[in-house]
Amino acid sequence: MCGIVGCIGKKQACPIVLDGLRALEYRGYDSAGVAVIDSNNSAQLFKQVGGVENVARLINSSKKPVKSTVAIGHTRWATHGQPSIENAHPQTNQSKTIFVVHNGIIENYSEIREKLIGQGYKFISETDTEVIPQLIDYHLKKAKSFEQAFIKTLGELRGAYAIVALTTEEPDKLFAARLSSPLVIGVADEELIVASDPAAILAHTKQVVYIKDYEMVVVDSKSYKIHNYLKDTTVKRGTEELDFDSEEFSKAGYPTYMLKEIFEAPATIKSATLGRIRLDPPLVKLGGLERVSSQLKFIDRLVIVGCGTSFYAGLVGEYLIEEIAKIPVEVQLASEFKYRDEPFSRSTALLAISQSGETADTIAALKKVEDYGILRLGVVNNVGSTIARMTDAGVYCHAGPERAVASTKAFISQVVVLAEIALYLSNGTSKLYKPLLSELELLPGKAAELLKQTETIKRIALKYKDDRDFLFIGRHYLYPAALEGALKLKEVAYTHAEGYAAGEMKHGPLAMIDPSFPTLALATDSPQLEKTYSNIQEIKARNGRVVAIATEGNKHIESVADDVIYMPQTAEQFQPILAATVMQLFAYYIAEARGVNIDQPRNLAKSVTVE
């Protein structure tokens, strides 16, 4: 989503803020801006539509040199108001003495706006953010300090936000707060950096302080002070060390982050299993679940919630947990779950899946059940994220940073982790326990073998680069994989794609089939393969073209499909992992042929921190 960076210290702050914003470009945005206050208490504001480099050029061409040890910056993904200079952040009060950057949505902004207009305030943007500096200005007329006015303002805001404010009233400080939107402080030797994502901080320090909900922080050049404005209490919190390096954020010679992350599939699988599985004697050890192991014994129903790719991984998890652990599972979209009124017993557990750990709808799902007295579990990638802190227990994916907006490593690692959870919950009683543990050990090597077929996948993908519609079909474990494959093609190649359970073809989708509407059929070895053959024949009988993903050694598939991509043999339960890699590459090369921005697809953001 939007990105926030603020810096204060001994060094020139503007270059640090610009570098931090560049590090957040992967999140997706449409405009950017920077505000600074110099030693003469003079403010400068630079905003442009488009990339961070547009703002950098504006700063470099400024007639007045931009020199300051304090600055804030922002990359905006439009919610309220179209991309424009007026709507870009930082937003200001009328006298341009208060500057604010904001992630999230202020739900009662219209009400606040009307109130302030009644008090003589004028607004120039369409954003919800502009009410924040104007409201601070309003309270500052009666407050004893800027900090007090800031806290009064926070008390009136409804919604989700991460806010950083800068003012000429106190130019030696940054003021920040969060509610349901991530915010972190990086503590370096000569500066402190406030950001919405650790990626903006890594080049300068790995020592961070995570800010929690209802906390505001005052940061100066040497220290930070945290205050819980809901409880009116001072909070003491030390730093934590980030567990990844800045090198992980580079492209490492690949043309795009997405291609790099696809090729990290073998390492992603290995990282998700490292230290967690043992073959002799067979054992699954999940330290993140051990402290609730006694509670897990009494679980008779599991509800999985997630959005997008995480939701599809959850659907695979439903099959895994029901088959291996024999626990009934249902999977719900987090964006719908929070509005449902359904019965919950104390023996139900909720499992939230999120790559970022900051997905607004998934956080809302967890908040919905916080007073239910049920166990809340998490599967997240980002250590220290909101969901990781909200849940009672969970398992990290350990996939490392994922910078392409379209998720690749996350789906693979989530499915691996869900398989481990299923095996863990089975307590070794499943007949699949030993075979699947053995297969997990072999899976990274099979993913590496699959990646050797990249040129074949590219050649086949280019045959379909001009098609505007696509159907993805699969059965059983491969049905959720089909949904994920269709999503990837939509996200990166802007191709209309639908994922369907193959058994549903005669219930509607066959009406769409013609020579201009190709199908990608997941037809790997499984008990359902013969039925998938029938579906392919139905499509061929209606002049539809078919790309099949099949298991190595299946020559029969070549007689029914137009093109075949082979993947190594693996257990049916893990086929979605290898198939996902094939479909990611298929979508990637179609997108590349169309010349679109693969890492930052239009209209999308990496971490959806607002509804």
CA 309 to CA 606: how far, in whole Å?
A: 12
Q: Are residues 286 and 179 in the same domain?
A: no
Report yes or no: 162 and 104 within 8 Å, Cβ to Cβ.
yes
Query: Same domain, yes or no, for 429 and 483?
Result: no
pLDDT tens, residue by residue, 334-348: 999 988 888 889 899
What is the predicted pLDDT for the residue at 101?
96
pLDDT of residue 376: 96
Neighbours of 435 (CB within 10 A): 13
605 in any annotated domain: no
63 pLDDT more than 90: no
Distance CA 217, CA 194 (A): 10
Strands 277-279 and 184-187, how do they pair?
A: unpaired
Residue 160 and residue 146 share a domain: yes
pLDDT at 246 over 70: no
pLDDT reported for residue 77: 75
> Residue 28 has what pLDDT?
64
Statement to judge: residues 533 and 549 lie in one domain: yes
Quote the CA–CA distance of 242 and 272 in Å, as a whole number: 18
Return d(Cα 471, Cα 107) in angstroms, integer.
38
Instruction: Tally Cβ neighbours within 10 Å of residue 111.
Output: 13
Quote the CA–CA distance of 199 and 246 in Å, as a whole number. 8
Query: Domain residues for 101?
Result: 3-242
- Where is the domain boundary, 187, 216, 242? 242
* Structure confidence at residue 249 (pLDDT): 66
Residue 1: its pLDDT value, please? Answer: 60
| E strand map for 196-267 | 207-210, 215-219, 224-228, 233-235, 240-241
Identify whether residues 535 and 458 lie together within a single domain.
yes
CATH number of the domain within which 185 lies:
3.60.20.10
Among 68-82, 401-415, 455-469, 512-526, where is mean pLDDT lowest?
Answer: 68-82
The answer to whether residue 205 is domain-embedded is yes
Question: In the predicted model, is pLDDT for residue 382 greater than 90?
Answer: no
The per-residue pLDDT for 178 is 93
The neighbouring-strand residues paired with 546 are 519
Q: How far apart are CA 360 and CA 179, in angstroms?
A: 11
Distance, C-alpha 335 to centroid of its chain: 15
Mean of pLDDT values over 411-439: 96
260 with 230, same domain: the answer is no
Residue 229 counted as domain residue: yes
Predicted TM-score of the model (pTM):
0.80
What is the Cα–Cα distance from 309 to 315, expressed in whole angstroms? Answer: 10
Three-class DSSP category at 52: helix
In a domain, 182, yes or no: yes
Mean of pLDDT values over 493-507: 93
Q: Residue 62: what pLDDT?
A: 86
Band of pLDDT at residue 129, cut at 50, 70 and 90: very high
Residues designated catalytic? 2, 606
pLDDT (0 to 100) of residue 39? 79
| pLDDT over 80 at 244, yes or no | no
Q: In what order do the strands lie in the sheet with 233-235?
A: 91-92, 98-106, 159-167, 174-179, 215-219, 224-228, 233-235
Q: Are 74 and 31 within 8 A, CB to CB?
A: no
Each residue's pLDDT tens digit, 165-206? 999 999 999 999 998 788 999 999 999 999 998 888 988 999
Residues 16, 152, single domain; the answer is yes
Phi first, then psi, for residue 357 (nearest 5°) are 75, 10
396 & 458 share domain: no
Q: What average pLDDT does this structure show over 551-557?
A: 95
- pLDDT greater than 80 at residue 81: no
Query: Does 558 reside within a domain?
Result: yes
Stretch 46-63: mean pLDDT: 90
Nearest-angstrom CA–CA distance, 570 and 263: 19
Choose one of 435, 450, 465: the last residue of a domain.
450
Instruction: Report helix, strand and coil shares of the chain as percent, to nearest 5.
Output: 40, 25, 40
Residue 47 forms part of a structural domain: yes
Instruction: Provide the percentage of residues in the chain whose pLDDT is more than 70.
Output: 97
CA atoms within 13 A on the CB side of 397: 32
Confidence band for 78, pLDDT divided at 50, 70 and 90: confident
Given 242, 269, 304, the domain boundary residue is 242
The pLDDT-based confidence of 351 (bands split at 50, 70, 90) is very high
CATH classification of the domain holding 570: 3.40.50.10490
- The answer on pLDDT for 609 being more than 70 is no
In a domain, 604, yes or no: no
pLDDT digits (tens, 9 = 90+) for 384-394: 788 988 999 99
Same domain, 336 and 441: yes
Tell me, yes or no, whether 585 lies in a domain: yes
Q: Determine the Cα–Cα distance for residues 65 and 507; give it in Å rounded to an integer.
A: 67
**Structure tokens belonging to residue 120:** 């003589």
Q: What is the mean pLDDT of the chain?
A: 92
* Rounded mean pLDDT, 292-302: 94
Q: Where is pLDDT greater, at 606 or 409?
A: 409
What pLDDT shows up at residue 64? 83
Higher pLDDT, 252 or 218: 218
Residues 89, 152, single domain; the answer is yes
Tell me how far apart the alpha carbons of residues 363 and 374 are, in angstroms, rounded to a whole number.
15
266-282 average pLDDT score: 94
| Both tokens assigned to 385 | 């994220």
Residue 454 has pLDDT above 80, yes or no: yes
Could you tell me the pLDDT band of residue 41, with boundaries at 50, 70 and 90? confident
Q: How many residues does the chain have?
A: 611
Q: Mean pLDDT throughout 506-535?
A: 93
Indicate if 496 and 579 belong to the same structural domain.
yes
Per-residue tokens: 469: 């519609």
Residues 209, 299 share a domain: no
| H runs (alpha helix) in 26-145 | 52-60, 109-118, 131-140
CA geometry: angle 120, 121, 127, nearest 5 deg = 150
Q: Into how many domains does the chain fold?
A: 3
| 246 DSSP assignment | G
> Which residues partner with 98 through β-bridges?
167
Confidence of residue 45 (pLDDT cuts 50, 70, 90): very high
**Average pLDDT of the residues in 476-484:** 97
